[in-house]
A and B are shown apart, each in its own frame.
Chain A
Amino acid sequence: MPKETLSPAECRDMMLAVADAIIAAEPVLTDADRALGDGDHGIGMSRGMNAVKDKLAGQEFESVEKVFTTMGMAMMSSMGGASGAVFGTLFRAGGKALTGAESFGSRELAAFFTAASEGVQTRGGAKVGDKTMVDSLAPAAEKAVAVAESGLPEAIAAVADAAESGKEASKDMIATMGRAKTLGEKTLGHPDAGAVSVTIILSAMRDYIVAA
């Protein structure tokens, strides 16, 4: 049965499923990044998610906040690079917005992605349209706020769709940030690899919540 709220233990299990989904997608992410960068995004994300599994699996968490901030620290420390900084910030900033929350529902989903999107934009300096992960993260955050009063399965499905649309839209953008920016118009037609990662994370969250 789909769930309306998740306990800290369920959040942990959801993020373990996210970790497995990213690890399985490593070749996809590597190819996406090779088109625009130096092709190390898949390895970095996979390494980060293996570190997440080490820190989450079999652990008890007192709060949902702690699940996400632990995940963010594990990614930041194990990955390094731009990806480690921005994905680590995504989960740390998102998690910190859940201080005091006893469970994870639609409102927490909205609070999480609003803070995550702001945190990533502040850290990396990217905004919508720069062909970065922000192009899937920012629309996901906006949608999460719009559906904060819906049931969690419905909300996460809408948020995952928004991220997917944002990733698709990034194909029509010219990169202006990071290593890809020097490719200019050659980046047209390819989605940003970080945006692809965001969609995989959200799809795995949706699949867990809908099946939970």
Chain B
Amino acid sequence: MSHKKLINDPLKVADELVEGLVEAYNGDCVLVGQRSLALSNIPDGKVALLVGGGSGHEPIYHGLVGRNLADGAACGDIFAAPPPDIVLEATQAVNRGKGVLYLYGNYAGDVMNFDMGAELAGDDDIEVRTVLIWDDVCSAPPTQKNNRRGIAGLVPIVKLAGAASQSAGSLDELEATTRKAVLQTRSVGVSMSPGSIPATGKPTFDIDESMIGLGMGIHGEPGVAEIPMTTADDLTPRMLDLIFEDFEKDDEVEALAAGDEIVFFVNSLGSTTMMECLIALRKAREILDAKGLKTYDVIVGPLVTCQEMAGISFSVTRLDDELKRLWELPCQSVCFTKMEGRYGG
């Protein structure tokens, strides 16, 4: 069955959604070049933060351009990385003379196109650094982080990097803090049914009605196992265990320990409802609390999606003093808005 999509020309979906996104920003953001967004008031001398990736996963990545968040986004076509000329246009639009940090998910197409964009920016004497997001612990072992995919953990990571970019004195400083946020963020996703490609209506992958893809990526890349469909309370600890194990096995970080402060994010891949996310969150908090982890803040909702894909992901970001201070900064965008401090703080 193909989904009823309220669209116009299927080949103009990405362009038209970005035009709509600019309207949602109501003046805070402007459309740049062919298909990029940039904040309308980036101060001179600011170290700039540029995010980006394929469209179709709204509200990320382009919805993370905002106050104390990213300065701009290079938007690709549906599920496809932005081409180098779009990356260049976005880079030029956000550059204020202190260099630009590229922050995006580790996918082959994104890496190739952003690298070509960086080469073009270099011809313009704009200094560019790149930090890749690779939070999906099911996509490769901790010793092969260059093979890991970036999934929902991008939301807390971009939030922290955006906050850091407000006061970063140099590109070096922003890069270092952003790398720390990436290192301390780990996610696990599951999928129950596929999303569809808007232009064809075809599903992005096949999965048996009675199965769950454990560790499946946001485009339906296979994870660690297909398991029989089960309950929220059965699935939740299995997902969290994969995150705990990863912190334990990875030599680059300490294991999660009692007293650690974390941000916990329950993401819906699209059609999984808030109701289901909340039921999972309820069980997850019970487990996190039992482990002695202090859940400093919670995010819940459909922020990293793949059309009507059914599934959820959990992301854990461990905060140290620096990251906690950055987390407390308020931020505002179409994708993610928070007040100063934290919920319940």
Do residues B139 and A177 form an inter-chain contact, with CB atoms below 8 A? no
Q: Given A38-B197, A80-B77, A179-B107, A124 and B204 touching (CB < 8 A)?
A: no
Do residues B80 and A39 form an inter-chain contact, with CB atoms below 8 A? no
A204 → chain B closest CB, angstroms? 22
A-B contact pairs, 26 of them (CB 8 A): A38-B205, A38-B220, A39-B203, A43-B199, A43-B200, A47-B11, A47-B77, A76-B85, A76-B116, A77-B84, A78-B83, A80-B81, A80-B83, A81-B76, A81-B77, A82-B108, A85-B83, A85-B109, A88-B83, A178-B109, A179-B108, A179-B221, A182-B217, A182-B222, A182-B223, A186-B222
Query: What is the predominant secondary structure among interface residues of chain B facing chain A?
Result: loop
Chain B residues packing against A (C-beta within 8 Å): 11, 54, 76-86, 107-109, 112-113, 116, 139, 147, 197, 199-200, 202-205, 217, 219-223
The winner among A38, A76, A124, A181 for most chain B CB atoms within 10 A is A38
Q: Given A40-B197, A43-B197, A84 and B79 touching (CB < 8 A)?
A: no
Give the docked Cα–Cα distance between A178 and B82 (Å): 16
The yes or no answer to A30 lying at the interface (CB within 8 A) is yes
Total interface residues on A, CB under 8 Å, equals 30
Query: What is the predominant secondary structure among interface residues of chain A facing chain B?
Result: helix
Nearest 10 interchain pairs by C-beta: A81-B80, A82-B109, A85-B112, A80-B83, A81-B109, A38-B219, A80-B76, A80-B80, A178-B108, A182-B221
The winner among A40, A81, A84, A123 for most chain B CB atoms within 10 A is A81
B222's closest neighbor in chain A, by CB?
A: A182
Give the docked Cα–Cα distance between A38 and B108 (Å): 14
With a CB–CB cut-off of 8 A, which chain B residues contact A181? 147
With a CB–CB cut-off of 8 A, which chain B residues contact A81? 54, 76-77, 79-81, 109, 113
With a CB–CB cut-off of 8 A, which chain B residues contact A186? 222
Q: Given A77-B85, A178-B108, A186-B222, A44 and B202 touching (CB < 8 A)?
A: no
Residues 68 to 108 of chain A near chain B (Cβ within 8 Å): 76-86, 88
Interface string of A99-134 (1 = CB under 8 A from B): 000000000000000000000000110000000000
B215's closest neighbor in chain A, by CB?
A: A182
Residues 160 to 192 of chain A near chain B (Cβ within 8 Å): 177-179, 181-183, 186
Give the docked Cα–Cα distance between A170 and B79 (Å): 25
Q: Which of B83, B197, B199, B204 contacts A84 (CB 8 A)?
A: B83
With a CB–CB cut-off of 8 A, which chain A residues contact B77? 44, 47, 79-81
With a CB–CB cut-off of 8 A, which chain A residues contact B78? 40
B15 → chain A closest CB, angstroms? 12
Do residues B81 and A82 form an inter-chain contact, with CB atoms below 8 A? yes
A171 → chain B closest CB, angstroms? 19
With a CB–CB cut-off of 8 A, which chain A residues contact B85? 76-77
Do residues B222 and A183 form an inter-chain contact, with CB atoms below 8 A? yes
With a CB–CB cut-off of 8 A, which chain A residues contact B81? 80-82, 84-85
Do residues B204 and A39 form an inter-chain contact, with CB atoms below 8 A? yes
With a CB–CB cut-off of 8 A, which chain B residues contact A47? 11, 77
Do residues A84 and B80 form an inter-chain contact, with CB atoms below 8 A? yes
Q: Given A124-B108, A179-B219, A30 and B200 touching (CB < 8 A)?
A: yes
Give the docked Cα–Cα distance between A178 and B221 (Å): 10
Give the docked Cα–Cα distance between A76 and B86 (Å): 10
Give the docked Cα–Cα distance between A182 and B81 (Å): 19
B138's closest neighbor in chain A, by CB?
A: A182
A84 → chain B closest CB, angstroms? 5
Give the docked Cα–Cα distance between A88 and B109 (Å): 12
B200 → chain A closest CB, angstroms? 7
With a CB–CB cut-off of 8 A, which chain A residues contact B199? 43
Given A39-B204, A79-B77, A186-B222, 12 more A-B residue pairs with CB atoms under 8 Å apart are A34-B205, A38-B205, A43-B199, A81-B54, A81-B79, A81-B81, A82-B112, A83-B80, A85-B112, A88-B83, A123-B116, A124-B112
